[in-house]
């Protein structure tokens, strides 16, 4: 414990005497360099005809939905699987709740 405290104090002392902190204290103030305004920014205009392109979409074509590609057996199996997963999740949740009420 004492060794860690000594190492921390020595480390903080070395950080406080770093050359960059001494140089900042010796200057006393910061130097400000002006930037010439002529080379700072350049503004270019955009021509609207070449920059934008508008495409017309047919609303009926965008809203068309493909039909169900699964057969009736596959659909029934999907529904049964979803039901089984839901029942297992509910049972697990209720079991965890009962365990917490009884043991904690």
Give yes or no for residue 92 having a pLDDT over 90: yes
pLDDT of 98 above 80:
yes
∠ CA 57-61-63, rounded to 5°: 105
Residue 47: left if φ>0, alpha if ψ -120 to 50, beta else—which one? Answer: beta
Which tokens hold the place of 23?
């140089």
Handedness of CA 53, 54, 60, 63 (dihedral sign): positive
pLDDT tens sequence across 15-70 = 765 555 555 556 667 788 877 766 666 777 766 665 567 778 888 877 877 777 78
CB–CB of 75/68 below 8 Å?
yes
């Amino acid at each position: 414990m004492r060794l860690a405290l000594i190492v921390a104090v020595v480390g903080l002392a070395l950080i406080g005497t770093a050359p960059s902190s001494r140089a900042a204290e010796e200057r006393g103030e910061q130097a400000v360099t002006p930037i010439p305004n002529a080379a700072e920014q350049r503004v270019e205009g955009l021509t609207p005809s070449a920059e934008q392109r508008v495409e017309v979409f047919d609303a009926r074509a965008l809203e068309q939905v493909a039909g169900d590609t699964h057969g009736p057996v596959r659909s029934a199996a999907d529904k049964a699987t979803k039901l089984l997963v839901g029942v297992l999740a509910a049972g697990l949740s209720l079991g965890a709740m009962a365990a917490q009420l009884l043991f904690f």
